[in-house]
Amino acid sequence: MGNIPSPLSACCGPDRKPQASSTAFNKVELAASELFNLGVATAYHTSVLVNGEEFFFSDSGIFSDRALNSHEGEPSERIVLGYSEKTGSQLLRSLQPHFQPGTYDLVCKNCNSFTDCAIHYLLGQRLQVRFCALERLGRTNTKMLSELTQGMYKPNLAVQYFQVDTVLAALHKLGGYDGQAGEGNTEAATSRAALMPGNRVTIIGLASATDLNGQGATVSKFNPWNGRWEVFLHLSGVVKALRAENLRPAGELVLETGDCVRIWGLKSVSGQELNGKEAEIIRYMHEVSRYEVRLESSEVTKALKPENLQRITL
């Protein structure tokens, strides 16, 4: 594969540091934070870094940033695993279909499940079993899990039969290990992530607590227990754990999937060619604070700032 494995992922091996090569030069690291220790098992939150960019799984799908927000900036362990031919963009495109929003489960499909798949995709390695010991224990001892979460854990029935090996087999079947993933059409974006701790946001789209919609809040942290973001409500001071889909940067135009928009105000030469064109909202990209849109009568997608979109009322 051209990838250089790390001896850190094995129980024994040569005591040497992974080195890059002419074909495998994307640095891959494991970030892990200890949540608590039960003696018989330790609970960890893990994520994978590619060239310093973190990728982690949440209840809203795969997220990425460069501030290690899911570890509150300081993981308890950060280990260089090796160097890969594949980039972070290839990782995201290849694993996104398997880690969709709403498919998170504390035991069956969590951050460690994603990290295991990501490491194998990038390097052909597997996540050390010590990082997922609690999940293994939880599958066989549901009473203990209920006590740990004070009865808050609710199994996600949609993923109760999820298996990491099934994802790995699917990636391999589709050529996931050949390093030839397509480059995609979404315009590259380097804007600031929307859900950084301290960022002000507006709550939208809640169906069960509609009184919170429109309220302002401040992002506190990512909670690996439920895969959601904790925010402080400005009016009441109450902390709520919400999905990313229900949060938008304060002051930004709020658009929903399927909304029709018109592009305007782009300054670059290529951007000016898009001004005036109509498009459909695909999703909000929290990692870069942009909307992914599909151009009308086309499969071409672009990542655009909210200020460059006008809602079209049909």
For residue 289, the 8-state DSSP code is T
Question: Which residues contact residue 157 at a Cβ distance below 8 angstroms, ignoring those fewer than 6 apart?
Answer: none
Residue 301, domain member (yes or no): yes
Residue 65, domain member (yes or no): yes
- Kindly state whether residues 96 and 26 are assigned to the same domain: yes
- Kindly state whether residues 145 and 235 are assigned to the same domain: no
Q: Are 63 and 287 in contact (CB under 8 A)?
A: yes
Residue 291 belongs to domain with CATH number: 2.30.30.30
pLDDT of residue 292: 95
d(CA 248, CA 237): 19
Residue 242, domain member (yes or no): yes
Residue 56, by phi and psi: left (phi above 0), alpha (psi -120 to 50) or beta? beta
- Kindly state whether residues 142 and 40 are assigned to the same domain: yes
Which CA distances in Å does 283 have to 209, 250, 254, 286? Answer: 22, 17, 11, 9
- Kindly state whether residues 25 and 148 are assigned to the same domain: yes
| Residue 229 parent element (H or E) | strand 228-233
> Vertex 88, ends 269 and 241: CA angle to 5°?
100
Q: Are 79 and 30 in contact (CB under 8 A)?
A: yes
Q: Are 261 and 248 in contact (CB under 8 A)?
A: no
Residue 127 belongs to domain with CATH number: 3.90.1720.30
- Kindly state whether residues 156 and 212 are assigned to the same domain: no
For the stretch 171-214, pLDDT in tens is: 988 765 444 433 333 344 445 678 889 999 999 999 999 999 99
Count up the domains in the chain and report the number.
Answer: 2
Residue 92, domain member (yes or no): yes
Give residue 71's domain range. 7-173
**Low-confidence residues of the chain: pLDDT under 70:** 1-16, 142, 149, 175-192
Whole-prediction pTM: 0.76
d(CA 123, CA 49): 12
Which one, of 124, 128, 62, 64, lies nearest residue 94 by Cα? Answer: 62
pLDDT of residue 191: 55
Q: In the block, which residue shows the tokens 């990512």?
A: 222
For the stretch 107-148, pLDDT in tens is: 899 999 999 999 999 999 999 999 988 787 777 776 777 777
Q: Which two tokens stand for residue 240?
A: 């709520």
Q: In the block, which residue shows the tokens 């401040």?
A: 218
Which one, of 78, 15, 14, lies nearest residue 45 by Cα? Answer: 78
